Structure 1
């Protein structure tokens, strides 16, 4: 156990990837059980595993890397810096990330390129409109590392964002897996 702790302490990207994978899986379980009300017998465990893999291989590394890039692009520790990061995050990164997430989910679910593109266009409008505009900007502005009003450290920011956004993960899983 001590060796694992040392490994993870030296590799925050691994913690971010593992956390994102676990919480994407949890969001899918919540989507299937509470939103879709599948019950244990109707639960699609393959879908949960796919969402965990997407979280581990895509969400964790990409979002964790993005936070490091933001720290380099917009250095400082003021409220203005946090707002600038939030605007860049939600205005530039989030739409690209959402499109990529939906494309990966569609590909993993076996959609053709044409089906995937149609689904991405449909879901981006639905997903981006309501939830993203209201929920994520205040959360992001309050969690950017190394700002005066931050709620978490640089190594835990993804975990905090993912924990608070588990409802978002549930919503994304539900929307992305509706075929």
Structure 2
């Protein structure tokens, strides 16, 4: 394990974007495996390997590069390392960036699932508000559709605002994406479930 951490540290120092993309891809894939096996209970025979590969590709090509770049932009927009700066970064991250990022994620996932433009738009309209409220851990109430198992991600427990405050205050810039993606195993599981529920 120590050798793995050292290797990751060297890759992060030499090629931070590649390391961030690999981290995001691997953890998006892990989130999908958890969604299929523990939430949807598909079993090994029912596991959709292509779906896991698609989620990994979204992590490699979209989540890792976009989040890594966003954290750099955010550090330039709001420089410093005080508690007040961390709160300001969290407000901008969760109030401005997260809604846009989530919409793009849902659109990309829909396109990768082969939805037409009209079907994709309809799915985004169906899922976006619920996913955004779950991001903020605010319950949208019973909409009559199958709901996320709240034993895994409870709407009463805020996740992202406190995680991001701690991330912006304690974690160096190059390690922020890794911290977020480790915490995001459950969030990635939710996103996979939401994006692939037809």
RMSD over aligned Cα, in angstroms? 1.8
Are residues 1:52 and 2:56 paired?
yes
Structure 1 runs of 4+ aligned residues shifted over 6 Å read 1-5
The answer to whether 1:112 aligns with 2:116 is: yes
Mapped pair 1:69 → 2:73: yes
- Residue of 24, 30, 40 corresponding to 1:20: 24
* Structure 2 unmatched ranges of 5 or more: 138-157
**Cα offset for 1:9?**
2.2
Kindly indicate whether residue 135 of structure 2 is the aligned counterpart of residue 135 of structure 1: no
Tell me the TM-score normalized by structure 2. Answer: 0.83
Counterpart-to-counterpart distance in 2, 1:3 and 1:81: 32
TM-score norm. by structure 1 comes to 0.92
d(CA) in 2 for partners of 1:6, 1:75 = 26
1:105-159 Cα shifts (integer Å, max 9, x gaps): 0000000111111111111111111343421111111101xx3xx1x22211111
Match of residue 154 from structure 2: none
| 1:27-176 pair list within 5 angstroms | 27-133=31-137, 134-144=158-168, 147=169, 150=170, 152-176=171-195
Q: For residue 4 of structure 1, report the CA deviation from its aligned partner.
A: 8.6
Deviations 1:69-115 (A, max 9, x none): 00000001111100110000011100000000000000000001111
**SS of residue matched to 1:75:** coil
Compared with structure 1, are the counterparts of its residues 26 and 16 closer, same or farther at alpha carbon in structure 2 (3 Å cutoff)? same
Question: Whose helix fraction is larger, Structure 1's or Structure 2's?
Answer: 1
Contact in 1 for aligned 2:36/2:47 (Cα 8 Å): yes
Q: Could you tell me whether the CA contact under 8 Å between 2:8 and 2:19 is conserved in 1? A: no
Q: Which stretches in structure 1 are left out of the alignment for 5+ residues? A: none
